[in-house]
Structure 1
Amino acid sequence: MLLIVLLPLIFALFIPIMNKRKEQIHIGYFVIWIPIVIFIFFARYLGADFEPIKQHFNWIPSLHISFDFYLDGLSLLFVLLISGIGALVTLYSIFYLDKSEKLAHFYIYLLMFMSAMLGVVLSDNVFVLYTFWELTSISSFLLIGYWNYKKESRYGALKSMLITVFGGLSMLGGFILLSNITGTTSIQGILSESDVILNHTYLPLILGFVILGAFTKSAQFPFHIWLPDAMEAPTPVSAYLHSATMVKAGIYLIARMSPLFHGYDWFFIVVAGIGILTLCWASFLAVRQTDLKGILAYSTISQLGMIMTMLGIGTEIAVFAAMFHILNHATFKGSLFMVAGIIDHETGTRDIRKLGGLMTLLPISATLAFFGTFSMAGVPLPFLNGFYSKELFFDATLHGSEYSTAIANFIQHALPWLAVFGSIFTFVYSMYFVFGIFRGKAKLEQLPRKPHEAPIGMLISPILLVIGVITIGLFPSLVNGTLLEHAAYAVSGIHEPHKIKFWHGFIPPLYMSLAVVGIGTLLFVTKKKWDTVYKKLSDRFTFNRLYDLLIAKTETVPASITKSYMTGSLRLYAQLIIVAMFIVSIFTLVTSDGFAFLEADPSEIKISELLVAIMMIVAAVGTIVARNNVAAILILGVVGYGLSILFVIYRAPDLALTQLVIETITVALFLLCFYHLPKMKPKQDTVRTKLINAAISIGFGTLLTLVAISAHSSKWFPSISEYFIETSHTLGGGDNVVNVILVDMRGLDTLFEITVLGIAALGIYSLIKIRKNKEVD
């Protein structure tokens, strides 16, 4: 499975080579075989006797991070959607994107996203899942911003990445808490410790972190605002990311983690509550949209809210309905996105106000749209798969669990009413979409291009998806026992067969469906009389404006703060650094009880040591009062050489020699540099400046004294010096411990230090050369 997950990424490496022949053959013809191979590989696991499969590959064993893959019914459902819809989207893009486009970029981003999504749904390690999770955000950013010359595309790409990455970091916090509490990074291992998690004090924090990651990725209220702006992406991207895959990553996360929180009231309150709110609010707003992809964007948000509600309810029937609707939504919404792309491609516009009467001009597209929208609306027809999962959804809202909190019970009793409300507007925007495009009077004079039916290559993918809609509707048992029941069992842990049938008798879910169709039809035919209500919605108080405000403030406020201290004054920079070190260090010493003063067995101070120390103090003070560059450097060198003498007195010749070499080189380099600087001039500092300098100097000197005394007096850990003495010969091959430490034990550190010095030297040389060239010019 590791090879399968990485296969799209590996193939992406060869796309630049194929791009050289894009004039002869479209790159998509090479790419399409990757998702087809993946689909065939996993389709062989379909069947009534499917058992989960585990695979393990080491990565970072010291951190308990490894490529652990787990294939069960839930991950199989998503893998088949990722690869199956991916193949159809690739076929569609071959005819949608012209060869003049940057096709190599598009397909590299697409394959990167495909690998990332496969990694998300197959990973059994929380940190590997997080890695792939963020890769989906990065690759979707690139895909949404594919037409980067458009301001709207750049805005939508950045918006989606900021919101989803914010949620991903939150999710990572939840994963870290889960792994620390359970002692494992395996998702299956964490799920087996559900009793420990449910009784832990960090449970609300874990739930909040995980849900925040899922809600941002799956565009739940109020994080839904990124999805409509993401519609600036090419239609193949919208059909793939925003109907079947990326937006369902959050759904997958909640489904995978729901056994962990099963029985916890706040899981139901937050997930089901926000889910039903998202369904109602997004379906209501979809009716006011005029852009075809805008309608489908809000439609997707509402459908995701519906699935999230079912997962929040968490009963056996609710989980099964969620799995069923995940599959159904991918079929009818994917086809509708492709139809919207066809309309845009053939007419030159997505504005529904300019469209109408296109049924006779685009008869195949119209037929596909009718099947897709009627299935999405949940119209009670036996050959539409959307009706089956919609009716199961209604049934799930009527048969919830009893909860211990009043707010949970209130939401449970309100769910059926809110489900009907949201479904009514789902019906309205579905009819608005299909009849607004294909019925009514044609407005050909308002269209940029004369419309005609799309080429057959562009129609194949939506036709196959609509065939899926009809096939599942007529023969639901084909996917029931072979796929859906396994997926539901992976979430609920209950393996009970479900019989999907069209007629259940006169029961409440049927009445709810009839109410949706009846009231929805009435609202649709009278839409012009009541849609003025949307004009009363203020655009001043929206989450989009809040997002724009936060982004603007994020750019201006830090800039103003940075300008306040980035003044170009080296004195100010040094003061800020020293003061920050002083505050942090003193705070750490006080709060951790880190200061210690050991009076026992003090060393005897010799007269030679005292004389050298006095010499170093005098030299340090002399450096401050010196008014000549060369004199100040030479006096400063006395401090370093004095330290070398102390090393000799303390019988550390290696350190003394090292200090002598370093000090000599430093003094020589200082003399070379300062020779080119202007002469030092006496500066008349104000009394305030002198007091600040004195306070900082005394404070920092006091800090270093306290740290030195505390370090000498505290023995919190065993000394590491014994390890170096014992292993310097066996590991480093030398008896000079200091040299072995520098060259071998911390060889990489020394190497990077030398590298930094080398880069700095090159930079200085370049600056000097530039200045000389300017002087010559």
Structure 2
Amino acid sequence: MSLLHMAILLPFLYAAALTVMRKPSLRFHTGWIILPIPVLLFVYFISCMASVQAGEELSGSIPWIPSLNIRFTVFLDGLGLLFSLLISGIGSLVVLYSIYYLDRKKEALRNFYVYLLLFMGAMLGVVLADNLIILYGFWEITSISSFLLIAFWHNREKSRYGALKSMLITVLGGLAMLAGFVLFYIMTGTFSLREIINNAGSVNDHTLFLPALVLILLGAFTKSAQFPFHIWLPDAMEAPTPVSAYLHSATMVKAGLYLVARFSPVFAGEALWFWLISVCGIVTLIYGSFQALKQTDLKAILAFSTISQLGLIMSLLGLGSAAAFYTDGSDSVFYAKATMAAIFHLINHAVFKGALFMVVGIVDHETGTRDIRKLGGLLSIMPITFTIAVIGTFSMAGLPPFNGFLSKEMFFTAVLGITELDRFDSQTLLRLFPVLAWVASVFTFGYSMMVVFRTFTGRPQFEQLEKKPHEAPIGLLLSPVVLAALAVVFGLFPNLLSYTLIEPAMAAIHPALLLPGDRFYVSIHMWHGWTPELFMTMGVAVAGMLIYKLHPRLSVLHEPLFRRVSLNLTYDAGIKLLHQGSLRMTNRYMTGSLRHYVIYIFVFLILSLGWGLYHYGAISVNMDRFAPVSLYEIVINLVLILSVIAIPFVNSRMKAIILTGAAGYMVTLFFVIFRAPDLALTQMIVETVSVALFLLCFYHLPKLEKEQTKPRTRIVKLAISAGVGVIMTLVALSASGSKLFESISDYYLRNSYVLAGGKNVVNVILVDFRGFDTMLEIVVLGIASLGVYALIRLNLASDRPEAVRKLDFANRLNKDRLPSNDVILRTVSKVAIFIILVFAVYLFFTGHHHPGGGFIGALMTAAALILLTMAFGMATIREVIPWDFKRLTAVGLLIAILTGAGSFLFDAPFLSHSFGYFNLPLLGKTELATAVLFDLGVYLTVIGITMTIILTIGRDK
């Protein structure tokens, strides 16, 4: 495993450790134990800068799903380094800022930092992944983690609305992007980004090329909030300010820009790529800047400002793609400068917008409001915050000597130069670019002045504030001060970035424009003489100041352009229509009757399997291959059939439970006869635990009464039952009577000991050959146990008042403490429990070579705990074993997952196991296998799942 892999996995591992860690003491903020992670990552990526600058490409690869040619391959070039430094650098400052912004006593800090670490790791995965499927996986994790961060204050309706809106739009865009990746695989036969880029131009004439282009851009546009997909970003501002500063200014919204930049070598020579990105970007730029003037909430202004600035960078990437239309000469270098401007402004925007979001957070934190109509006169009270705000807003407005001025001048150069592009007939449209860019810059200047002067100057209105305003503490100011200082440094010394970050990133975006050994010439200066760009900037300042002054009297800047029609209303109407339509459809078949649901399932099973067997001629019964049936097999089968047939006719739930258990034990006997001890043990213990579970469930049900049903209903039920029986019989006979290919069992029998070091083939299959299936099964079971817990707790919480619930629980607890009347059961249990637990441990450790394993051992352990509960009551098990079994489930899952991920350290696929023989003291030559660690995870998970369900149902009254 390479250091790049570790850089991606470190936040995930730390987040996992944080979930099982004891709750941090209130003496210090949880953020202090999180801060070293992004700092360490930032230092590591800084150390890689010299290698990347020298043209080296750091990479690493781990097998993931070799059969599908999917490898966990990562690489670091100039573009990846740029984004990695933003993710880790801004992340460090955001974590530091959050320590002083979030109250350690009032906020769920553990959840917050787990979500933040998940997002950080996912973003690093996106920008470092070489495999498109791996990239997509991390892409969607960013959507999920951002959903959790935006909804952090989930008690607010607006937070929940904004989180759902952002996830729906970005996830749908991600699915479109995935479809584009699949099309690329069809065209090229590879998921490797570098291979696709190296073979750029070979698939341009393919019929799937343009559909792939559009689908990938859908993913980029939704993620980077481009018009008309921008509507999620303003609502996402309900997140805490550290989240807004991190996700919505420096990282998540930049993922779409990264995707466009990364695929530019593949699509840049396509006219559709140029027009879609350039036009969409310039429209987003002017729309966002105009809408920002209409806002009165500081965060809302910055939200639309972010949309506008993302549009600016997107349009520059589109204009920069024009360089691919020229194979050599100065024209290609000239248009590539638009890409240079995009990269530079991407850095500048992360710096000044991050500082501004933190300033807004400070204002909100210290005054209790973000409404500029209530603010004013804060200059004398908050001078340091004002200074930071001036630097940030002036940089955003494009005023010297700040970094935003330089990239804004480069933007004007790009839009003026694009009018000279002679590859298209649409010269009129190209001439609109400078006009739209200038108008949008005027709007940007206007709202920038609003942010700083409406907040800090003018008449004080302290009586309208919720808090008495004062300057923020040094801890809250430190992060924005660093960012503001960078805005000044990058403005005065821009060439610090020229060949460290900008040129390597350009080389990654335009590799075809460079000959081996060549480099792009990057030189950024504050003064270029009296150029058209400078006059445009002067005009922006004059017109922007005019708009700022006239803003209160211009009604067009306060009222919506269309009152009855808007993209947000369209979204809301669409969601409402989908909800109502799905509700109507669902109500047609969701009748509330379990019988109806079972009928739906079984009828579908009969029709689908029956049609498949008939259509493909799969019904094949070859009795010659079957062994003769013995007398005792006939007897066991008759007992099994009679037990099952009798269940519908009994008038007691207890009898039904006994008959169900009898049927299960008959199946156990079959496993014994057919020499399958593992299955026999598992079946026997499952039946025992199931009977206890049935008793607990049925204890809460009303008295069993026979339902009077019509003869027609009985006939339907009988027909469905018979149909299921016939179909499953045909499936079993067909599977046994015909073989289309060699059975996989022979492979397992030959290789279980050679490859996995285990003689128990069943256990080896579970923990080694099919370990991934086992891991997913315990994950599903864990989710099911939490579902049972949540449903019962929800029912208890909704049905009874708090005082009644507390009294009821106390009564149940006291009742549980009463000694059992069955003295014999209690006496025998003391010995039996010890024997069962010892046997369970034996099954666990011998499972690799003999019948047993983690799953069987866990069920046996759970059986002992259930016996303890039955003999001594619920309170006893809580006193003897004061564990939170839900947490035990999480620990087991974590062990199983980490065991699988541990194979990455040895460049092996996920869940690859190893074994060896060692001479141990007292034990002598002993086999040690990593599969035992995975089995330990299974063992703990199954115990946690079983006891969570049993204890939860047992506590319910």
For 1:337-736, what aligned pairs fall within 5 Å after superposition?
337-379=357-399, 381=400, 383-400=401-418, 411-493=429-511, 494=513, 495-532=519-556, 534-569=558-593, 572-585=596-609, 594-595=616-617, 685=710, 717=741
Over 3 Å counting, the alpha-carbon distance change for 1:694 and 1:268 in structure 2 is farther
Over 3 Å counting, the alpha-carbon distance change for 1:19 and 1:752 in structure 2 is closer
Kept in 1: contact 2:129–2:135 (CA 8 A):
yes
For 1:44-63, what aligned pairs fall within 5 Å after superposition?
44-47=47-50, 49-62=53-66, 63=68
In the TM superposition, residue 657 of structure 1 has moved relative to its aligned partner by 14
Q: Which residue of 1 aligns with 2:344?
A: 324
The one of 24, 27, 45 equivalent to 1:42 is 45
TM-score, normalised to structure 1's length? 0.79
Partner-residue secondary structure (3-state), 1:448 = coil
Q: Which residue of 1 aligns with 2:129?
A: 123
Kept in 1: contact 2:352–2:395 (CA 8 A):
yes
Give the distance between the partners of 1:22 and 1:661, measured in 2 at CA: 48
Over 3 Å counting, the alpha-carbon distance change for 1:754 and 1:566 in structure 2 is farther
Partner-residue secondary structure (3-state), 1:60 = strand
Q: Which residue of 2 aligns with 1:88?
A: 93
Give the share of equivalent positions with the same residue, in percent: 46
The one of 4, 7, 16 equivalent to 1:4 is 7
More displaced stretch, 351-360 vs 161-170: 161-170
Partner-residue secondary structure (3-state), 2:153 = coil
In the TM superposition, residue 139 of structure 1 has moved relative to its aligned partner by 2.8
Over 3 Å counting, the alpha-carbon distance change for 1:629 and 1:345 in structure 2 is closer
Give the distance between the partners of 2:619 and 2:19, measured in 1 at CA: 67
Partner-residue secondary structure (3-state), 2:471 = coil
Kept in 2: contact 1:52–1:70 (CA 8 A):
no
Over 3 Å counting, the alpha-carbon distance change for 1:738 and 1:273 in structure 2 is closer
Kept in 2: contact 1:377–1:386 (CA 8 A):
yes
Give the RMSD, CA atoms, in angstroms: 5.3
In the TM superposition, residue 711 of structure 1 has moved relative to its aligned partner by 7.7
More displaced stretch, 53-62 vs 485-494: 53-62
Give the distance between the partners of 2:705 and 2:457, measured in 1 at CA: 86
Q: Deviations over 1:160-207 (max 9, x none)?
A: 333333333333333333345433332212222333443332223322
Give the distance between the partners of 2:62 and 2:276, measured in 1 at CA: 37
Q: Which residue of 2 aligns with 1:139?
A: 145
Aligned residue identity for 2:546: L
Kept in 1: contact 2:18–2:114 (CA 8 A):
no
In the TM superposition, residue 158 of structure 1 has moved relative to its aligned partner by 3.1
Aligned residue identity for 1:58: I
In the TM superposition, residue 323 of structure 1 has moved relative to its aligned partner by 0.4
Give the distance between the partners of 2:356 and 2:863, measured in 1 at CA: 58
In the TM superposition, residue 372 of structure 1 has moved relative to its aligned partner by 1.3
Over 3 Å counting, the alpha-carbon distance change for 1:685 and 1:27 in structure 2 is closer
In the TM superposition, residue 437 of structure 1 has moved relative to its aligned partner by 1.2
Q: Deviations over 1:302-328 (max 9, x none)?
A: 111111111222241221111001111
In the TM superposition, residue 585 of structure 1 has moved relative to its aligned partner by 4.6
Partner-residue secondary structure (3-state), 1:224 = coil
Q: Which residue of 2 aligns with 1:637?
A: none
Task: Indicate yes or no: 2:35 matched with 1:32.
Answer: yes
Give the distance between the partners of 1:97 and 1:736, measured in 2 at CA: 54
Kept in 2: contact 1:358–1:438 (CA 8 A):
yes
Q: Which residue of 2 aligns with 1:641?
A: none
Structure 2 residue runs of 5 or longer lacking an equivalent are 324-335, 514-518, 630-636, 657-669, 778-851, 875-952
Over 3 Å counting, the alpha-carbon distance change for 1:183 and 1:691 in structure 2 is same
In the TM superposition, residue 426 of structure 1 has moved relative to its aligned partner by 1.3
Q: Deviations over 1:606-636 (max 9, x none)?
A: xx9xxxxxxx9xxx9xx99999669x9xxxx
Task: Indicate yes or no: 2:219 matched with 1:213.
Answer: yes
More displaced stretch, 90-99 vs 294-303: 90-99
Kept in 2: contact 1:144–1:234 (CA 8 A):
yes
Partner-residue secondary structure (3-state), 2:231 = helix
More displaced stretch, 170-179 vs 116-125: 170-179
Partner-residue secondary structure (3-state), 1:69 = strand
Q: Deviations over 1:458-494 (max 9, x none)?
A: 2232222122112111111111122111111111224
More displaced stretch, 500-509 vs 740-749: 740-749
Over 3 Å counting, the alpha-carbon distance change for 1:405 and 1:694 in structure 2 is farther
Q: Deviations over 1:433-474 (max 9, x none)?
A: 122112322222222233232233322322221221121111
Give the distance between the partners of 1:6 and 1:249, measured in 2 at CA: 19
More displaced stretch, 310-319 vs 283-292: 310-319
Partner-residue secondary structure (3-state), 2:73 = strand
Aligned residue identity for 1:110: L
Over 3 Å counting, the alpha-carbon distance change for 1:713 and 1:19 in structure 2 is closer
Give the distance between the partners of 2:385 and 2:691, measured in 1 at CA: 81
Give the distance between the partners of 1:298 and 1:455, measured in 2 at CA: 29
Partner-residue secondary structure (3-state), 2:62 = strand
Kept in 1: contact 2:317–2:342 (CA 8 A):
yes
Give the distance between the partners of 1:537 and 1:427, measured in 2 at CA: 21
Give the distance between the partners of 1:659 and 1:336, measured in 2 at CA: 63
Structure 1 residue runs of 5 or longer lacking an equivalent are 609-615, 633-646, 648-652
Q: Which residue of 1 aligns with 2:75?
A: 70
Over 3 Å counting, the alpha-carbon distance change for 1:190 and 1:587 in structure 2 is farther
Q: Deviations over 1:89-121 (max 9, x none)?
A: 233233323342434443333333322222222
Question: Aligned pairs, how many?
Answer: 755
Give the distance between the partners of 1:470 and 1:745, measured in 2 at CA: 58
The one of 259, 282, 292 equivalent to 2:288 is 282
Kept in 2: contact 1:18–1:27 (CA 8 A):
no
The one of 242, 252, 255 equivalent to 1:236 is 242
Kept in 2: contact 1:331–1:469 (CA 8 A):
yes
Over 3 Å counting, the alpha-carbon distance change for 1:753 and 1:222 in structure 2 is farther
In the TM superposition, residue 154 of structure 1 has moved relative to its aligned partner by 3.0
Q: Deviations over 1:488-510 (max 9, x none)?
A: 11112243212212333444433
Aligned residue identity for 2:451: F
Give the distance between the partners of 1:657 and 1:386, measured in 2 at CA: 73
TM-score, normalised to structure 2's length? 0.66
Give the distance between the partners of 1:452 and 1:349, measured in 2 at CA: 13
Kept in 1: contact 2:142–2:252 (CA 8 A):
yes
Kept in 2: contact 1:171–1:213 (CA 8 A):
yes
Give the distance between the partners of 2:679 and 2:245, measured in 1 at CA: 67
